[in-house]
Amino acid sequence: MTSEAIMPKSWMYDSRDATLIRSICAEHGALLRGRINIMSFLELAHAVFIKKIKYLPLLNYVHYDKEAAKQLLIDKFGWQDYGGKHYESIFTRFFQGYVLPLKYNIDKRKAYVSCAIMADQISREQAMKILDGPPMCESQIRIDRLYLLKKLRLSDKEFEDIMDAPNKSYFDYRNEGFIWGYRSGKSGVVMEKIRRFATKGV
pLDDT digits (tens, 9 = 90+) for 48-101: 889 999 888 887 788 888 889 999 999 999 999 998 888 999 999 999 999 999
Residue 113 near residue 127, CB atoms below 8 Å: yes
pTM summary value? 0.81
> 35-39, 45-49, 62-66, 151-155: lowest mean pLDDT where?
35-39
Task: Identify how many contiguous H helices and E strands the chain contains and give both numbers.
Answer: 10, 0
Q: Name the residue among 176, 159, 174, 148 with its Cα closest to residue 27.
A: 174
Per-residue DSSP letter, 47 = I
Q: Name the residue among 61, 52, 147 with its Cα closest to residue 98.
A: 147
Q: What is the mean pLDDT of residues 29-56?
A: 82
State the helix-helix crossing angle for 156-164 and 138-152, rounded to 10 degrees. Answer: 110
pLDDT band of residue 34 (cuts 50, 70, 90) is low
Question: Average pLDDT of the chain?
Answer: 87
- The per-residue pLDDT for 195 is 74
